[in-house]
Amino acid sequence: MSGVDAEPQPKWTFHVDRPSARTEAEREEHFQAWLDKFGQPYTDAVIEAGDTPWTTDVEQRRELFMRRYKALNPTDTQETAA
């Protein structure tokens, strides 16, 4: 359509924006940002409410968070035939 002012579309960068394309340092930075914004406030709120969070160990949280960067092995999710 001529005469329509369309906003320019951002360059397609899916291949460099996906989490697996991040470097180790970027992954750690992303984890720290998540921990500061969501992880620690959630833990504090749970404790303040008188409940117990599933963990307060930062290393356990980091290990779980970093799983998003690993590809699943399909054989781990399939039941073996008897």
Residues 29 and 81: their CA atoms lie apart, in Å, by: 42
Question: Which two three-digit tokens encode residue 39?
Answer: 């992880």
**Tens-place pLDDT, residues 30-79:** 899 999 999 999 999 999 999 999 988 999 999 999 888 777 766 655 55
Question: Which two three-digit tokens encode residue 20?
Answer: 């697996």
Q: Are 70 and 57 in contact (CB under 8 A)?
A: no
User: Is this structure's pTM higher than 0.75?
Assistant: no
**Mean pLDDT, to the nearest integer, of 22-35?**
89
Residues 79 and 82: their CA atoms lie apart, in Å, by: 9
Residues 69 and 76: their CA atoms lie apart, in Å, by: 16
